[in-house]
Structure 1
Amino acid sequence: MFSSIMALGALLLTLSMTVVASPVQLSRRVKFNLDSAPPNDKAKSRSEISSELLSNFTLFAQFAALSACDQNINATGNKLTCDYDGCGLVEDDDTETIFTFHNATGPTGYIALNHTRKLTVLTFRGTVSKYDGETDFKYQFTAIEDVCPGCNAHEGFWGYWSSAADVIISELRSATTSHPDYSLTVVGHSLGGAVATLAGTILRTKGFSLDIWTFGSPKVGNYKLAEFITNQRAPVSVYRATHYTDVVPKLPLTLTLLGFDYSHPSPEYWIDQPTGEKVTTDVVKFIEGINSLAGNAGQHVWIQWPDPNHGWYFGNMSVCPTPADSPPPEDS
């Protein structure tokens, strides 16, 4: 029973993140009924966000989407670009990739400078390759006591960050030394959001001052880790966006009695409207409380792949053709 439940959670996580972490399409659609019910930790009332915060969410969602464009991860010294509409805020700025990382058994992404806005942006791509998918399946906990007492992380997400941590930290130290007046931001969508959360958390413990922006991120660890992340920089440690009934933020499933107390840090910025509609300040709800049920987690949903809610965060997250390292589409 236990293994079946966890296998279902891992399967849902992998399928969901494969859909639009890049423009990968699944040839078969399957429906599940998932009623996720994690604990409600002192949830507070919702309120709309400011227009400035909405603009920032839109900007960093575009940075996240651009990590699924091959031209942005295969060479340095280039301006960030996309092939479809949806990245105008970034494309109009003076940007430059200064480091890219992309291999068969680790995370994919880039470090870029935005000279217009004085930003250094570390971005992690979502699920595209076969190995990305295998990483999503590694849902067992791994202890990270050196980060915080009692903390456990998702084995796959932690492994991805750890495999690239040394070189990324070295490159960021160089970038922040060269551009001390630039703000550091860590960004990601889906699997990329999970790795960004862990990366930003660890970078802070190493002296970096930064913001974390994630879109449709799954849970990255247990309650203790969520609590540590929440308290790392109050009142907002992570600008964690969820969308409507998107299933990915509900996963891995929270099964506390079985030892899997997967949890999200507080707060959450929940886009409470369907896909394709222009996001305005009044439809993004600010929700406090670890594992609050007031937002995405409390939405009972029939899941269908492709899941349009996972692919729309302040705009379409598919802004380029299918990346070269994505697996071939399955036969129908």
Structure 2
Amino acid sequence: MLTGGGSATRNIAIPDMDSTLLLPDTPIVPQDTLDLYAAYSGAAYNISDNWNCGTECQHPGTEGTTVIYHRNNDTFSSVGFIATNANNKNIIVSFRGTAGLGDWLENYLLDPIDWLENINGFSVVSGFLTGYLVVSVEVVQIVVDLSTKFPDYKIVATGHSLGGSRAALFVADMTTKYPNIASQMKLFTYGQAKCGNKVFAKYMDSLGIRIFREVNKGDIVPHLPWDITQYVHFGTEAWVDFSGKAMFCKSGNYSHCSAGISPLSYSFVDHTTYKDL
């Protein structure tokens, strides 16, 4: 079972990450960068056609954001937005996390499904993919057009919970179809579940782009689905431990981060209390 944030609880703040613990040769990212894209992830819960969604849209660094496209599909709850920011030269592609009945139903569709036929053995969680494919053609085309218009901008995919998994699928989709713009892409997710098999994870790690997954304390969702032989994580995990400190673990070393905690410490509350989200 996958769970997501609700607007009533998401603004509870965790302690500041007052120090950073590092493993050798592990990529790191400043806290303010993690917080910035957390705000963009949170904005997907309340966004409209304008950059006006409450505290997330007032986060430092989001000034100058212009919403280009706001999507809300009624069949599968594929909600989110595409925006640009001239100040930091970003194209932001944000996917909303679990919020309604449609999202909950998709979270239960955990069977693997083959995807991207040009990569042998590539499979992902069917429920995550179904909702993404509903909007993928339109979203990909808009981002391609924006990347042509703004060739010096970075394309930042982001999302919380279910939204983080869909953001990862978007990155996989874009980089296989348009490898010439792969170097422009970044991925920042928050409380993301495992969304693909080992072939999928290996592909994502091979891209050589900035991929960071923030995990808050004992958040249960990043440990799901339970089958560790079928689904695995990728990228660099930024784990905020129980004292509020940050540990960065790259792919293959997750046991030093959230994968090393006891299942007795897993928490749904920690899934809904990400800082700046």
- Which stretch of structure 1 is more off in the superposition, 236-245 or 81-90? 81-90
The alignment status of 1:251 with 2:224, answered yes or no, reads: yes
Q: Does 1:293 align with 2:221?
A: no
How far, CA to CA, are the matches of 1:193 and 1:114 in structure 2? 20
Deviations 1:22-76 (A, max 9, x none): 3267xxxxxxxxxxxxxxxxxx9368976x622211110000001111xx23x2x
Q: Relative to structure 1, is the Cα distance of residues 227 and 85 closer, same or farther in structure 2, using a 3 angstrom cutoff?
A: closer
CA–CA distance in 2 between the matches of 1:252 and 1:102? 26
The superposition leaves residues 211-233 of structure 1 with CA deviations (integer Å, 9 ceiling, x where unpaired) of 01111100001112111111122
Provide the residue aligned with 1:130 in structure 2.
101
After superposition, residues 120-269 of structure 1 pair within 5 angstroms as 120-144=91-115, 146-207=117-178, 208=181, 209-233=184-208, 237-256=210-229, 261-269=230-238
Instruction: Report the number of matched residues.
Output: 260
- Partner deviation per Cα, 1:167-201 (whole Å, 9 max, x = no partner): 01111122122222221111111000000011112
CA contact (8 A) 1:188 1:213 kept: yes
Deviation sequence 1:84-108 (CA, Å, 0-9, x none): 47842245x1111011110212310
Task: Mark the structure with the bigger radius of gyration.
Answer: 1
Aligned AA for 1:269? Answer: A
Shift of 1:268: 1.4
Q: Which residue of 2 aligns with 1:103?
A: 73
Q: Is the 8 A contact 1:49 1:284 kept in 2?
A: no
CA distance in 1, matches of 2:128, 2:156: 19
1:254 partner letter: D
Corresponding residue to 1:45 among 23, 29, 38: 23
8 Å contact 1:49–1:285 — kept in the other structure?
no
1:273 corresponds to 2:242: yes
Counterpart contact for 1:267–1:290, Cα < 8 Å: no
The yes-or-no answer on 1:89 pairing with 2:60 is yes
Length-normalised TM-score, structure 1: 0.72
| Conserved? CA contact 2:84–2:92, under 8 Å | yes
How much has 1:295 moved relative to structure 2?
A: 1.2
Structure 1 unaligned segments of length 5 or more: list them: 1-10, 26-43, 278-282, 318-332
Amino acid at match of 1:148: I
SS at match of 1:164: helix
Distance 1:178 1:273, change over 3 A: same
Contact 2:26 2:249 in 1 (8 A): no
CA RMSD of aligned residues (A): 2.4
Instruction: Quickly say closer, same or farther: Cα 1:287–1:245, change in 2 above 3 A.
Output: same
Amino acid of the residue matched to residue 189 of structure 2? T
1:23 lines up with 2:7 in the alignment = yes
Post-superposition Cα deviations, 1:247-296, rounded to whole Å, max 9, x if no partner, equal 0000011253xxxx11001321111135xx6xxxxx22111234732211
* CA–CA separation in structure 1 for the residues paired with 2:248 and 2:232: 18
Runs of 4 or more, structure 1, over 6 Å off, are 46-49
Q: Please list every run of 5 or more consecutive structure 2 residues that lacks an aligned counterpart in the other structure.
A: 10-21
Residues 181, 156 of structure 1: alpha-carbon distance in 2 compared, 3 angstrom cutoff = same
Q: Tell me the distance in 2 between the aligned counterparts of 1:213 and 1:147.
A: 25
SS at match of 1:270: strand
Counterpart of 1:62? 39
Q: Is the 8 A contact 2:220 2:266 kept in 1?
A: no
Q: What is the SS of the residue equivalent to 1:263?
A: coil
Instruction: Pick 1 or 2: higher relative contact order, CA cutoff 8 A, min separation 6.
Output: 1
Structure 1 residues 212, 147: closer, same or farther in 2, change over 3 A?
A: farther
Matched, 1:309 2:270: yes
